[in-house]
Every structure is written in C-alpha cells, then in structure tokens.
Amino acid sequence: MLLGSGELGKEVAIELQRMGVEVVACDKYDSAPAMHVADSRRVFSMLDGDKLREAIREEQPSHIIPEVEAIATPVLVELEKEGYNVTPTANAALLTMNREGIRRLAAEQLGVPTSDYRFASDYDEFVEAVKAVGIPCVVKPVMSSSGHGQSVIKSESDIENSWRIAQEGGRAGAGRVIVEGFVNFDYEITLLTVRSSSGTVFCEPIGHIQVDGDYRYSWQPQMMTPEAKAAAQDVARKVTDALGGYGIFGVELFVKGNDVIFSEVSPRPHDTGMVTMISQDLSEFALHARALLGLPVPSVRFLGASASRAVVVEGDTCEIEMENLDKVLEEPGVQMRIFGKPEIKGHRRMGVILATADTVEEARAKAERAYDKLKVTVK
C-alpha cells in the first residue's frame, strides 16, 4: 500500500509489480501518477488519521510504504504496534516527516555535525531564533518538503515575510518552524543509502542544484575526495542505522573540503535520485522495492556519468501539452519520463530528462540541450 502516489511512488509501484506484488496507490487526489499503474487506488487525505486507519484496516497490506511527508504518522506508529509492516519503520517516517525530530536525533543524540539551528512555535520565538542564529539564515516549516514554505532571511526587513511564508507553506498547515544558520559549503550531495537483509550499501554520490528548495538538476557521480566520501558514508550509516528498517534513504549532506555536515534524510527514494533511472543497473526505486521486501542488495553497479533535468511547469490549468519530443530525444543517451500529473497550480514538476555521457559535464550539457528543445504549452 503506497501512501503517496507521485512520480516517485509510480516508479516504486512499477518495480514492485515486476516482483509480482499487488499495489494499492493512495493519495489526496485522483489520477495521481502511481494510480496510472497500480492495481487499485484510494483517494483520501492521509493527514486524516481516522481515514488512514480505516483504509489500512480494510486493505490489510503486507507492506505500508510512505512515499510523502503529509501523512498522519502517529497512526502508523500505532498500527505498527498492532503488527502492520511500515517501510522502513513507523518511527523513521515519524521522525523524518518532522524536521525537528530528525535534527535532534542527528545533532543531539548521534553527535553528527549539522548547521546551527533553533525552533520556534510563535512569532516572538521566531524573532529570537533569528537573532540567535544570525542573518542570513534559512527558514522552513518543520513539516514540509520540496521547498514549500521555505525562504531566506537576508536582512531584518525579511523576518516578517519569512514567518508568513512558513506558516502558509507547511504540509500540515501553520505551525512550528526551524531557523537554520547558513552553511559555508563547496557543494551538496544526496547519498542514497540502502539497508537490506544483506547489509548497507551506498550509491555513488549525487550532486544537485535546488531552486527555492526544490530540485532542478542532479548528476552522478559528484566528485569527492576519498576522505570526504568516507566521512559522508559514515554520517549516512549512523543516521540510517538509528532509523532502522529496510529500504532506501536519501541522505542530504553539505560538503566543505573533507568535512561533511548533515542536512536532512528521507526514508524513501529521493527526487534528486531520479538520475539513477539511467545511471545504475538498479534504480533507487528498484533498490527500494527489493530491500523493503526483505531481499538482499549485495551491490549496486554504477553504469557511468549521468545527469537529470527536471521539467518544471508554471500555471493554473488541467491542460498542458509537451511537444518536440522527437527533437528532445534525437541525441544518443537521452531519455525522458512524463509523469502524467492531472493539473498544475503554481509550479509543478511534470517530467524529467535523463542523459548519460562520458563525463558528468557532458551529461549535464546533453540534458540541458534536450530540455531547451522541449516545447511546453500551458492552456
């Protein structure tokens, strides 16, 4: 049972079906991407604990697979105690949905390096948190993803507006926020970490660029010194061991020289990891499916330098057209996925272009050339 049926959930559903698994796709809206391929669907707000509990008890799934943050995770904790199997664990879903939970686990319990941070529940606390951390700083709702509700305070005049953005952008509505100090880093990575019955394995590090907290480009591998790579794997292992369970984790890290600073972790496939659909013998989705079923993942074979370019569309419509696909795909080593989302409100990721080449630079340039040939019409 997939709790969340976006483009990442769609790929997980496909990989599970390849293993002979029946998939029930759930989301708050109908015709979500994973519902196009699932065996059945259910439409309800997963933040509604009663409806979530009712759906799970009716379906009696062998595996409950959270694929988004907007879930009544305390209900999953209760159901896990009743014997339901939550991937990777209900506690992992609970901690990582809430930035406060995962940050306190990493920094205060595990002693993993993080940015300076403060939490605030009201505006007065928020102003004090900004003063304590210092300007510039980043503000995020403790419950959000993909940049929703995130902003940067560059001067005191930004404080009030940043509070408003955070209160309007949280996945679970207005509430508590985290204020993070700026980190001086050379680059940031996603380190996909797979916990399975055969142990822990790491994918090659993924470099990426975000705009307003939302991924736009990713590439693999991100070049790192052997010392930095070892440090990144050490941090990822500590955090994922503490969360436990089987599945893939997207561990986000800042890197400065050989030093590694923990940012966030998702106990599920990561959007920047869509590049693995062209760069590895087993994509992050195939790895997640295999691991959560209790099957071994002895190794991951990296195929070569690759890149992805997100197709983000702006508008307020149920009708868009993507044209010139013959031009987009005319170069060797280029692929595309169109997600099939039913509507756009604001801006939304509607597809991804994938490319592989002899070097990361060439792969990124190839993906960008393909993107430039794509014509998107919003009606």
Marked catalytic residue, from 103, 118, 309, 349 = 349
353 touches 334 (CB < 8 A): yes
Q: Residues 49, 147, 175, 333: which is the catalytic one?
A: 147
Question: Is 157 considered catalytic here?
Answer: no
Q: Cα torsion at 346, 122, 46, 53 (round to 10°)?
A: 180
* Residue 147 annotated in active site: yes
Q: Which of 264, 266, 290, 364 is catalytic?
A: 264
Compute CA 251 distance to the chain's CA centroid, rounded to the nearest angstrom: 9
Do residues 286 and 19 touch, judged by C-beta distance below 8 A?
no
Q: Cα(91)–Cα(245) distance, rounded to whole angstroms?
A: 10
Phi-psi region of 123 (alpha: psi -120 to 50; beta: other; left: phi over 0): alpha
Amino acid occupying residue 149: G
Query: The dihedral of CA 321, 326, 327, 330: what is its sign?
Result: positive
- Please pick, among 263, 272, 276, 308, the residue that the annotation labels catalytic: 272
Q: Is 349 a catalytic residue?
A: yes
Please say whether the dihedral angle defined by the alpha carbons of residues 155, 152, 140 and 317, taken in this order, is positive or negative. Answer: positive
Note if 271 is an active site residue: yes
Spot the catalytic one: 11, 158, 188, 252.
252
User: Does residue 264 carry a catalytic annotation?
Assistant: yes
What's the CA gap between 177 and 174, in Å, rounded? 9
Catalytic residue among 73, 87, 115, 145: 145
**Interatomic CA distance for residues 25 and 27, integer angstroms:** 7
DSSP 294-330: T-------B-S-EEEEEEEEEEEES-EEEE-HHHHT-
Catalytic amino acids?
A: 145, 147, 252, 264, 271-272, 349
